[in-house]
C-alpha cells in the first residue's frame, strides 16, 4: 500500500496572489521557511528551504522542482523518508471566484514510514493555515510556534 495524503484550504485572495506567496522565496520565508528559501520555485531548479526554530533546531532541505505552471501547480521532490528517499509533493492552486483553493498532496512514502508521513501531513496542514493567515492578514503563524518542540534528528 502506498502512503499518501492531501490537505487543502480556501484562501480569500485571488489565485495569482496566493501562488506568488508560495513561489516567491521572500514571501515563503515570511510564514513557512523561516530560515530562508534560496530561490523561486522555477521548473528544473534545486532550491534550498531552511527552517530555523531556535538553537539546535535548524534544518535545510533541497527541493527539486519538477514542474511549475504559474498560478496552477508546483510539483517538487524532497528528501522526507527515514531512509533518505524523496517524496513527491504537488501543490495546486484553483481559482474559485475571488478566492483560491490550495491543495498539497504528498506521496511516495514507504509503508515503514507511516508515523513520519503523518508528521509531514500535519506540517502541510500547518503550512496551508500559515499561508492563509499570511496572505489574508499579514500574520506569521510560524513565528515561535515550534521553538523547543523538535530537533533535526526528527526529520
The whole-angstrom separation of Cα 81 and Cα 84 is 5
Q: Torsion angle of alpha carbons 16, 44, 127, 11, nearest 10°?
A: 20
The string of pLDDT tens digits covering residues 19-75 is 999 999 999 999 999 999 999 999 999 999 998 876 676 889 999 999 999 999 999
Query: Does residue 136 carry a pLDDT above 70?
Result: yes
User: What does the block give as the cell for 91?
Assistant: 501543490
135 sits in which H/E element: helix 114-137
Query: Does residue 146 carry a pLDDT above 60?
Result: yes
Please tell me the least confidently modeled range out of 19-33, 49-63, 88-102, 123-137.
49-63
The whole-angstrom separation of Cα 149 and Cα 64 is 27
pLDDT at residue 6, rounded to an integer: 96
Yes or no: say if 29 and 143 are a contact pair by the CB < 8 Å rule. no
pLDDT at residue 92, rounded to an integer: 98
The whole-angstrom separation of Cα 103 and Cα 124 is 10
Mean pLDDT rounded to a whole number for the chain: 91
CA of 150: how far to CAs of 37, 58, 98, 147, in Å? 20, 10, 37, 8
Measured at the CA of 51, the angle between CA 136 and CA 111, to 5 degrees, comes to 100
In sequence order, which residues have a C-beta less than 8 Å from that of residue 154 and are 6 or more positions away?
A: 119
User: Which domains are delineated in the chain?
Assistant: 3-146 (3.30.530.20)
Amino acid at each position: 500500500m502506498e502512503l499518501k495524503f492531501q490537505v487543502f484550504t480556501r484562501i480569500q485572495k485571488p489565485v495569482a496572489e496566493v501562488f506568488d506567496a508560495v513561489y516567491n522565496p521572500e514571501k515563503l520565508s515570511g510564514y513557512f521557511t523561516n530560515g530562508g528559501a534560496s530561490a523561486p520555485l522555477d521548473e528544473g531548479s534545486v532550491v534550498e528551504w531552511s527552517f530555523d526554530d531556535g538553537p539546535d533546531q535548524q534544518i535545510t532541505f533541497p527541493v527539486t522542482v519538477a514542474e511549475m505552471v504559474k498560478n496552477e501547480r508546483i510539483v517538487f521532490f524532497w528528501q522526507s523518508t527515514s531512509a533518505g528517499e524523496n517524496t513527491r509533493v504537488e501543490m495546486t492552486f484553483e481559482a474559485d471566484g475571488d478566492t483560491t483553493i490550495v491543495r498539497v498532496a504528498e506521496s511516495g512514502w514507504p509503508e515503514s514510514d507511516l508515523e513520519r508521513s503523518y508528521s509531514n501531513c500535519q506540517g502541510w496542514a500547518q503550512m496551508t493555515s500559515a499561508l492563509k493567515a499570511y496572505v489574508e492578514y499579514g500574520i506569521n503563524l510560524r513565528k515561535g510556534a515550534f521553538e523547543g518542540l523538535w530537533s533535526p534528528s526528527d526529520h
